[in-house]
Amino acid sequence: MTKLIGPIIHSGKTNRMMMVLVLVSLAPSLVAAVMRFGFAAALLVICALAGAWLTELVIDRRQAFDGSAVVTGVIFALLLPVTAPWWLALIGGMLATGLGKHAFGGLGCNLFNPAALSRVILMGLIPGAWFISTAVTIDGITTASPLARESGLLAPTITGLLSGSIPGTIGQVAPLAVLAGGLMLVSLRTIDWRIPLTFLATVAFLALVLPPGIRIEGHAPWLLGNPLLHLVGGGTLLAAFYMLSDPVTAPFTPGGRIIFAVVAALAMMLVRFYTPYPDGAALAVLLANASVPLIDRLTLELGPPPSLEPPDNL
Amino acid sequence: MSSLDWVFSSAREALYGRQVPRLKTTRESAIITIPTPRRVRLLSDGLNPVVEVGQAIEGGKLVARSPVNERFQRRIHASLTGTVTAVREDHIIIEGDLPERPPLTHGVPEWIAPEAIRDTSREAGLIGMGGGMFPTYVKLSHPAPIEVVLVNGCESEPYLTCDHRVLVEQRDQANCGAELAMRAVGARQGMIVDREINYPGGYERLLIHDTLGKVVPKRGLPRDVGVLVMNVQSALALHEAVCLGRPLIDRVITVDGDAVGRPGNYRVPIGTELGHLQKVCEIDAAKAAMILTGGPMMGTAADEATPVTGGTGAVIALTAEELGDYRPQPCIRCGQCMEVCPYNLPVAHLVESPHKVVLDCIECGACQFTCPARRPLIEELRRAKAVVTAWD
């Protein structure tokens, strides 16, 4: 007669199930991107996905089927402008899983969001591939860059942002699709609602209160203090629902997650307002990720011990 | 009487002598409890009534008694729960408010003293039958003042319904047990809690918080907040010991799981080996991947020779498909362990870097049940507890 250690039945939930839910929630964004850009977007997604997944397969075969590399690949692809070359997607996917995840020890061990890390590194190393590949015209709009750089030429409007007729990365062209996917994840409780809510609320607040910075050449739209533009434009929604809400790289406690989302929003809005860097969402995600160990330490160890009172939902 | 009958009776008289006939035609008829009458007429000739017209009265309560100076004392009790509608010279009428209600509920006889209850529970070997198996008399004897007796009927473990069935079928007796416990400790309030509640809400501390809003201190016991918690079957056993003189020799258990052919609640003698239950309840040994005593969250693996004890609430035989797959994957810090923890412990974090709050963990297993990475969290939590304990 052995004492069992813990329950013998299980809820049946798996990591893979959570990844599948994330992928399903990304489907509207992917469909919107392919409808908008056609084969170019599909190719980038496939390349990023292949890069991410094959890298994982080579490095750790056991983890290759839990779906996390697929999620990473897709999110990275959504951060690419549709004008990006296919090899950028492939390298980005490889870098995301290889450096962003496995270099830290694999699933659950990474400090930074793999897709955001890959994007920021590649933007630093080969900015040309992101910004200067010009003159691809689709639907009569030059989609030469991520949203910010050149769209000073055509001031973004809310209807334009919502309908996807504004240049941007392939994940940014359909904010409503991203929002729908994100709300699905929130309602299924796959992600913690506190992170996107706090993040979006803080972004809107900062857009209203931050004083405009010195005008920087080619840096028009973010100097507009319109909170709606900041919410639906750039990588805000992707960061809110997909990058910041990745539990691996978010703080553990509900309180910590709120602090984390505020830090991310602050970082993003400071970048947008006061630097020539166009979007800042990915960079803000990395900055917030870097603060997670400290936030965890403050909320878990130095803070008051968890309440002895059981919650009311029993 | 026909002539043939006359011949027979004459022959009988010749054989057995002249007798009054026996006429025992209902000898084989079982006793049937009649539908409760709407009213009862209690004869009270020569007695002093202690009730008034219009008074609500519970079955079993005194309605009339002899004058004090009478040599042969008589007492009459209400045989119906209802209202006194007439008090006459020679009779008292009680009209029932609920015709279906059994005529007599089990109240605590007023003449049983607290010491007698404590002594009986010690001599009858009563224990906590929710699984704790702590001697009942110790709980009933502690000098700390107790205000509330909570009878815990919230078996929140999956599968278990034995306490529920006891409450359905023998609620009055359990009630009596609760009243006996109240008298033993001098409590003024008693309640049977049998709400349907999610695991692990039936755990004593959580139940106290949930029901009374009181927080049992960290290293303390329910009595520190003036509460005594006892399991439904412990209360029933207290009733049987005190009122029927019956020591603890059996209990009701739930037998369930997909490998059980005849699942149900069974009253079994304590010490019954699982091998016997396997036959009675048709547990398919080939299908059963695991047989447990207790529920699937906190139970113990058992075999044919394992006996049912006073603290065994269930025998669960699970097939391979019902067993959780616990091949662990990396933790993705999703935080669901903390969300389901009744004490809001950051489980995934605590197993990585132990902190003294881990000692609050009651090892209910809710975190391990829900963990999408299927971490063996209880094992890891125990290790963390050992680390923290070594600090002191």
Residue ranges per structural domain of chain B: 39-96, 114-244, 250-319, 336-391
Chain B CB contacts of A12 below 8 Å: 324
Q: In the CATH scheme, what architecture does the domain B39-96 have?
A: Beta Barrel (2.40)
B37: preceding bond cis by omega (within 30 degrees): no
Average pLDDT over residues A94-102: 94
> Any idea which of B6-20, B155-169, B243-257, B359-373 has the lowest mean pLDDT?
B6-20
Is the pLDDT confidence value at A13 over 50? Answer: yes
Section B225-254 average pLDDT: 93
Closest Cα in chain A to B214: A309
Residues across chain B: 392
Chain A nearest C-alpha distance from B277 (Å): 17
Alpha helix locations (H) across A5-38?
15-37
What does the block give as tokens for B257?
A: 């799981």
Closest CA to A273 of A202, A222, A228: A222
Asked if A6 lies within 8 A of B365 by C-beta distance, the reply is yes
Residue B106, pLDDT above cutoff 80: no
Please give the Cα distance from A129 to A119 (Å, whole number): 12
What is the reported pLDDT for A275?
Answer: 79
Amino acid found at B389: T
Question: Quick one: pLDDT at residue A157?
Answer: 61
Q: Tens digits of per-residue pLDDT, B260-307? A: 999 999 999 999 999 999 999 999 989 999 999 999 998 889 988 999
Domains of chain A in start order, with CATH, are 16-301 (1.10.3430)
CA distances from B363 to A6, A29, A308 (A): 7, 42, 15
Q: Which two tokens stand for residue A116?
A: 């955001």
What is the mean pLDDT of the segment spanning B367-371?
Answer: 93
Average pLDDT over residues A35-60: 92
d(CA A56, CA A94): 8
pLDDT for res B140? 93
Q: How far apart are CA A272 and CA A212, in angstroms?
A: 10
Q: How confident is the model at residue A310 (pLDDT cuts 50, 70, 90)?
A: very low
Is B370:B378 a contact under the CB 8 Å cutoff?
no
**pLDDT score, position A33:** 87
Residue B37 to residue B103: CA distance in whole angstroms: 8
Task: Give yes or no for residue B204 having a pLDDT over 50.
Answer: yes
One of 3.40.50.970, 3.90.1150.10, 3.10.20.600, 3.30.70.3450 is the CATH number of B250-319, namely 3.10.20.600
Cβ–Cβ < 8 Å for A67, A19: yes
Residues of A with Cβ-Cβ distance to B333 under 8 angstroms: 108, 247-248, 250, 252
State the pLDDT at residue A150.
Answer: 40
In the block, residue with structure tokens 């963390």: B384
- For residue A16, pLDDT over 60 is answered with yes
Mean pLDDT of A64-71: 91
CA B33 from chain centre, in angstroms, equals: 24
pLDDT at A140 over 60: no
What token pair was written down for B150? 């909570």
Say yes or no: A302 contacts chain B, CB-CB below 8 A. no
Judge: A1–B318 Cβ closer than 8 Å, yes or no. Answer: no
Spatial separation of the C-alpha atoms in residues B102 and B37, rounded to whole Å: 10
Q: What is the mean pLDDT of residues B320-339?
A: 88
Longest dimension (CA), chain A: 76
Q: Which of B257, B238, B110, B81 is nearest to B166 (CA)?
A: B238
Chain-centroid distance, C-alpha B348: 37
Task: Report d(CA B289, CA B266) in Å as an integer.
Answer: 22
Structure confidence by residue, pLDDT tens digits, B375-386? 999 999 999 999
Q: Which residue, among A2, A9, A245, would best test binding to B if mutated, counting the most B CBs under 10 Å from its CB?
A: A9
Phi-psi region of A29 (alpha: psi -120 to 50; beta: other; left: phi over 0): alpha
What is the ipTM for the molecules in this complex?
A: 0.80
Spell out the residues 6+ positions from residue B361 whose beta carbon is closer than 8 angstroms to its own. B341, B343, B345, B347, B350, B381, B385
Give the model's pLDDT for residue A131.
61
Q: How far apart are CA A241 and CA A281, in angstroms?
A: 12
* Most A-contacting residue of B159, B344, B356, B367 (CB-CB within 10 A), to test interface: B344
**Given this model, what pLDDT does residue A86 score?**
92
Nearest to B124 by CA among B142, B136, B112: B136
| Phi/psi at B127 (5° precision) | -135, 170
Lowest average pLDDT, out of A225-239, A271-285, A294-308, B123-137, goes to A294-308
> What share of chain B in percent tops pLDDT 90?
53
The DSSP output letter for A299 is I
Say what the pLDDT of residue A4 is: 61
As a CATH number, domain B114-244 is 3.40.50.11540
Q: For residues B83 and B54, is the Cβ–Cβ distance under 8 A? A: yes
Tokens 């935080």 — which residue? B335
Report the alpha-carbon distance of residue B342 to residue B203 in Å, rounded: 10
Instruction: Name which of A177, A242, A189 is nearest A30 in CA terms.
Output: A177
Q: Which of residues 171-200 of A touch B (CB under 8 A)?
A: 192
**What sections of chain B are H helices per DSSP?**
3-16, 114-123, 136-141, 162-185, 204-212, 232-244, 274-280, 336-340, 347-352, 366-370, 377-391
Share above pLDDT 90 across residues of chain A, in percent, rounded to a whole number: 48
Give the HSE-up count for residue B161: Cα atoms under 13 Å, Cβ half-sphere.
11
Name the pLDDT band for A143 (thresholds 50, 70, 90).
very low
A200-214, B98-112, B186-200, B236-250: the lowest-pLDDT one: B98-112
Alpha-carbon distance of A236 to A182, in angstroms, equals 12
Average pLDDT in the B225-232 region?
94
Q: Is the pLDDT of residue A306 over 90?
A: no
Q: Which of A250-259, A280-289, B5-14, B217-226 has the lowest mean pLDDT?
A: B5-14
pLDDT at residue B202, rounded to an integer: 86
Give, as one character, the DSSP assignment of residue A252: S
Q: Where do runs of H (alpha helix) occur along B213-316?
A: 232-244, 274-280
Residue A225 exposed, middle or buried by CB count within 10 Å (0-12, 13-18, 19+): middle
**Would you call A18 an interface residue with chain B, using a CB distance cutoff of 8 Å?**
yes
**Closest chain B residue to A2 measured between Cα atoms?**
B301
- DSSP type of residue B364: -
